[in-house]
Amino acid sequence: MSQCPVPHGAVSLSAPRTGTDLVQLHRDMRRDHGAVAPAVLDGDIPAWLILGYRELHQVANDPVLFSRDSDLWNQWDNIPEGWPLLPMIGRKQPSVLYTVGERHTVRAEMISNALESVDPFALKGYAEEFADDLIDRFCSVGRTDIIAEYAMLLPARVLAKIYGFSDEVGAPLVGALNDMIDGRERALAGQQHLGSAMARLLADKHAEPGEDVATRMLQDPGGFTDEEVAQDLMVMMAAGHQPTADWMGNSLRLMLTDDRFAASLSGGRHSVGEAMNEVLWEDTPTQNVAGRWASRDTHLGGRHIRAGDMLLLGIAAANSDPQVRTDGSALTGGNNAFLSFGHGEHRCPFPAQETAEVIARTGIEVLLDRLPDVDLAVPADQLTRRPSPWLSGLTDLPVRFTPTPAHGGQK
């Protein structure tokens, strides 16, 4: 198959977007293209980006017409070896992401059951323990970068713990995860490192089962292979770490820069939950998701979609769709109709959402308890974001605070 010509005005999802005003970008895209816009990935590979809330609902709710089976893609002949998005858009990947039908239902239940069995008090305790440990490293200095020294480290450590990794093995996985998720030149190397770590973990759990997520997945009656379990653990690790880190960072940015939240920083924890909910609407960590594939020719948002075309779920754009957010300046007031965790049968499992929320909220609360006068160390307009079209998070969040002594292992 020859590669389709790139449509005029198609949005490039491979160009750096550091400092881009996403709200204005989405507004411009709707003006130029409507609810479904032509887009191009690395190497000028064409796709469709769904901008409309209702259109995204329609796609997510119809797994037959808009399948998760990447084998349907009509562009595979144009994808070179080493394509940086292969970790995200793989062919014949034996993970829950690309499983469809009844097998997907059973597999999703296996993941949910394993996560539901995690003791919520133990989960919160791990989050508090690791948060205190990380804060001890910089609390006596009076300054730090919240992203690099805290938010980017905490979720992976907690997830590694409940999945069954030792602390010594779990901590170094952060770099591999970030490389894989960013979808750039080190993506494949990051995927390979994480895959090797998962294989070793499962071998250890076969030899010595434990009270952890990996053991429960291996013991599931669904009869999944080690390769399937390893792939699903990789998906869970990637989907649980970086978005949760960005949820923490984006929420703290909002609380430190927006008067609606900054005024209540020292007034208790009520604003933490509000800020986290607001971020899922206005600054969601998961910007775009790849993808769905049309199983036959169809129409969506006034566009002719060919069989095998890829559709990208524009989560951030759909959340800000003016047809559902008529007053984008108003606080959401706890409204949780956002699409930040996806929608339909392939949405993030509810126990995984709860796990992410416990880690993020605990991380923020412990930080504010330990450093009650934390404040930005640079003007808010100097904060920048990673140049990724997939996940939205800050490159850094420099803060200052009154130096305090380390807890030194006190719990």
Q: What is the DSSP string of 282-309?
A: HS-SB-EEEEEEESS-EEETTEEEPTT-
Q: What is the pLDDT of residue 18?
A: 43
Are 96 and 104 in contact by the 8 Å Cβ rule? The answer is: yes
Q: What is the pLDDT of residue 2?
A: 39
Are 147 and 396 in contact by the 8 Å Cβ rule? The answer is: yes
Q: What is the pLDDT of residue 244?
A: 95
Burial class (CB in 10 A: 0-12, 13-18, 19+), 114: buried
CB neighbours of residue 171 within 10 Å: 15
Q: What is the pLDDT of residue 271?
A: 84
- State both tokens at 232: 């699903």
Would you give per-residue pLDDT tens digits along the chain (411 residues)? 334 545 567 888 876 554 456 778 888 889 999 999 999 998 899 999 999 999 999 999 999 999 999 999 999 999 998 888 887 787 777 777 778 888 888 999 999 999 999 999 999 999 999 999 999 999 999 999 999 999 999 999 999 999 999 887 877 787 777 777 665 667 778 888 888 999 999 999 999 999 999 999 999 998 899 999 998 998 899 889 989 999 999 999 999 998 777 654 555 545 888 899 989 988 999 889 888 999 999 999 999 999 999 999 999 999 888 888 755 555 555 566 677 877 777 778 889 999 999 999 999 999 999 999 999 999 999 999 887 888 889 999 999 999 999 987 554
- Please, how many CA atoms are within 13 Å of residue 113, restricted to the half-sphere of its CB? 14
> Which of 115, 113, 117 is closest to 220 using CA atoms?
113
Are 141 and 406 in contact by the 8 Å Cβ rule? The answer is: no
Q: What is the pLDDT of residue 58?
A: 95
Q: What is the pLDDT of residue 184?
A: 65
SS3 401: coil
Which stretches of 78-216 are assigned E, i.e. beta strand? 143-145
Q: What is the pLDDT of residue 260?
A: 75
Q: What is the pLDDT of residue 13?
A: 83
Q: What is the pLDDT of residue 19?
A: 46
0.85 exceeded by pTM: yes
Place of tokens 């923020």: 364
